[in-house]
Structure 1
């Protein structure tokens, strides 16, 4: 061959001064063209892709299981081939050739003296690319299933209502504008509040950025909810202290759901979301995760593990609206049921109260009539008893007055009987002593006579005193009898 002929002339001498570089490279080009007359099906990974003047320029590589680079090469798809090849590939796979994509291509090695070694691609196996993407998804899916978390978020109960929703989306994602428009309408009417966290959704490391943005937003919302809880509890405690009324405070504990949305795109654009870390993050959430990624034909692992999957971002917000509407209708139906039940209970209660009121009125009239009859009889009995007691008291007081008069007259008679006797005794004693002392001297006689007079006065005074005491005793007994009779009369009359 030409390359062999060139190689045989190794070792310079006086007649050979070397060959031009172009001749050497042309020889290499001829050797490569002779060795690879046709294309070879080759497994490659795209590390960079650019289009200039209709030509597609690729940087291809191969990595080992550890991710280390083991081979690389430049490749191109000429415009004449690209106009046919790329639309067919994109229609079959939905994938646009870009970095990170693994391909099975038919490549023919070429070597040109001016540009060096490269590969010219004239065919791409779309089935291999689809199979590789699906194999990568299947591997992650099996891993999540073996870990027992694949259906964790899907099995969560739906929130009773959406009050706070975290939305994770690219900054200028297609479809985010329509989502925001409806979300702002819900927020304006106090139905639900939406908090947004932004991240890249394609390219190397996009899945990690999505997880990091979502975790940071969840942590911030959780801390905010805890602060609101402390404030609300402190406020309710103050109310309890001041008003002494138990206040129940409802405090949000964080978002009710996480929404992950982006607009449509090529399959390989969405393939960045077929990531284990992102899927595991969704599975581990204790609140429902809703996805609206791409279009109806698109499906990612994030959609598979999410609580609810919607075709587009607009359908996500529509689903939230329908949920809120359904809850509002349920609440209205429940309110109407409560109102009807309360009205029925009120009517039944009113009927019962009316029957009880009529019964109470009837029983009250009966009791009042019996009470009137009983009171009339009791009053008559009291009147008869009072008259009897007055009669008895009058009779008793009359007896007491008669007794007092009798005793007083008896005491007075005794006193009158005793006075003459005492006078007689005094006179007798005086006469006796007078007779005995008649022989004494005139002075003794007067002395005796004076003594007799003194005793006589004393006796008279004693009799007067006795009569006075009898009179006072009789008067006191009469007064006591009168007071007793008057008190008895008052008691009877009262």
Structure 2
């Protein structure tokens, strides 16, 4: 045993080289057989540096195991400084008392695992808490599979050989590797021409069927489902849930299986969107989502995909390629609800416009019908007046002709009467002539009367036919207008799948204000009515 003159400020260096502490003498020492060269500056005066070695059979150097290991230890510390940065991938993580042991493996890509190197480093006491807190401040947690860059104090133990004590950690190295992976996947998908394929799909106009991929029992999932259940209970939208791990070694396979199950369901019954929600958690959990297979599956999906992964400050490759991206699951369900409310408001406005236009059309048709009836009445009266005037003219002509003939023959009779006074023969003769003429006059009056009656009947039939044609045309127009009015009636709109909101007196509710003034209202469908209770004002 050789005691060393080692000052306090150099104790760590001596300890790293293999010196031991004697608590009784309060001094550092080295055991017999330990090479002295590394401890030269602390050796007491008078101790030779060269120690005799045992003779070998063939003249090559010969060492004891301890001497050989100590020599390696000296060479190790001469090669590596007291503190170095070491990068590797965590393959095993253990908690021991107040510290943690981390097994690291080569992180070079395309490295054969058979030739990979591994070593164990440890952080004890306050350093352990310091390392964990620093990672958490960057949104990361130590876990197997994570790439890390740690600052260590190299150690070469005679039994456990190469190791080190963790002094610091650089979270930026982990995040940098994460960014590099995203860039490589992004460039590959762009070269294949599928990077924007899902992003360029039309965003969902409405939501009736939605598939939701979520981690089981996550807080973000429960926040999403709370609002989604309300929409589903109102039969406004159906949500199909596909639980999947978002972290761990099975995350990639489970996410791919959930996406595939949703797409198979889409073939059976079309869905409007696939929603992927995560909701908080450690930042390195996002690394499990940046897998080429997952990103490729989203790009090639024929269904618009919406993501809400719960990290407002981190934009993943999934956010870039998805059809719509949100910070949180809550914002995702809010978008769905707002879209449905917007469509409902627009439908209500359309119903109100239809009601208004229908009223205007009815008023216009009523006015048109009134004008048609007035036109029929005026045309009929005009035709009747014209025919009556013609009949009066014919009567005047008949009366005038009859009076003229009577006056003429009366004058003739007077002349003949004077003539007959002179001679009976002449009187008899003229009496016969008068009888003949009288018969002729009577026949002429009958003929004229029959002709006049025939003309009246013709005029009457013409007026009757004209009136029937006018009435038939008006009836045809009225039937057309009646069918048009019935097609615009709210009952016809209900048959096409829409609903009508009414208060308890069956009056139509035309605005949100009217709706919120009711404790409940009726929704009328084509096959009946149902009562709706208002819980809160949205």
TM-score (norm 2): 0.59
Structure 2 residue 345 is the aligned partner of structure 1 residue 329: yes
1:269-299 superposed Cα distances (whole Å, 9 cap, x missing partner): 1111112211121111222211111232233
Unaligned runs of 5+ in 1: 226-253, 382-491
CA distance in 2, matches of 1:367, 1:160: 62
CA distance in 2, matches of 1:212, 1:280: 14
What's the counterpart of residue 352 of structure 1?
Answer: 368
What's the counterpart of residue 136 of structure 2?
Answer: 90
Unaligned runs of 5+ in 2: 1-33, 38-49, 398-450, 455-538
CA distance in 1, matches of 2:171, 2:55: 47
What's the counterpart of residue 260 of structure 1?
Answer: 276
What's the counterpart of residue 155 of structure 1?
Answer: 200
What's the counterpart of residue 465 of structure 2?
Answer: none
Structure with greater Cα Rg: 1
Structure 2 residue 355 is the aligned partner of structure 1 residue 339: yes
Q: Which residue among 19, 23, 47 is the counterpart of 2:91?
A: 47
What's the counterpart of residue 487 of structure 1?
Answer: none
CA distance in 2, matches of 1:117, 1:62: 15
1:52-105 superposed Cα distances (whole Å, 9 cap, x missing partner): 3331211211154335322111221222212223323432x3221222222222
Structure 2 residue 145 is the aligned partner of structure 1 residue 100: yes
81-90 or 321-330, which moves further after superposition?
A: 81-90
Contact 2:87 / 2:107 at 8 angstroms: preserved in 1? no
Contact 1:12 / 1:18 at 8 angstroms: preserved in 2? no
CA distance in 1, matches of 2:153, 2:83: 4
What's the counterpart of residue 2 of structure 1?
Answer: 35
CA distance in 2, matches of 1:152, 1:347: 52
CA distance in 1, matches of 2:358, 2:276: 44
Q: Which residue among 199, 205, 214 is the counterpart of 1:169?
A: 214
TM-score (norm 1): 0.64
What's the counterpart of residue 232 of structure 2?
Answer: 187
Shift in Å at residue 128 of structure 1? Answer: 2.1
CA distance in 2, matches of 1:300, 1:347: 60
Q: For 1:46-445, what aligned pairs fall within 5 Å after superposition?
A: 46-69=90-113, 70-91=116-137, 93-223=138-268, 225=269, 254-370=270-386
The alignment of Structure 1 onto Structure 2 pairs a total of residues equal to 352
CA distance in 2, matches of 1:96, 1:140: 24
| Compared CA separation, residues 372 and 131, structure 1 to 2 (3 A) | same
2:91 match: secondary structure: strand
CA distance in 2, matches of 1:9, 1:36: 30
2:379 match: secondary structure: helix
Greater relative contact order (CA < 8 Å, ≥ 6 in sequence): 1
Shift in Å at residue 25 of structure 1? Answer: 5.0
CA distance in 2, matches of 1:167, 1:123: 41
1:117-158 superposed Cα distances (whole Å, 9 cap, x missing partner): 323221222332222111111111222222222222222222
What's the counterpart of residue 417 of structure 1?
Answer: none
Normalized per residue, the structure richer in helix is 1
CA distance in 2, matches of 1:370, 1:190: 69
What's the counterpart of residue 434 of structure 2?
Answer: none
Contact 1:48 / 1:99 at 8 angstroms: preserved in 2? yes
2:117 match: secondary structure: strand
Contact 2:207 / 2:273 at 8 angstroms: preserved in 1? yes
Contact 1:293 / 1:312 at 8 angstroms: preserved in 2? yes
CA distance in 2, matches of 1:378, 1:102: 120
| Compared CA separation, residues 10 and 171, structure 1 to 2 (3 A) | farther
CA RMSD of aligned residues (A): 3.4
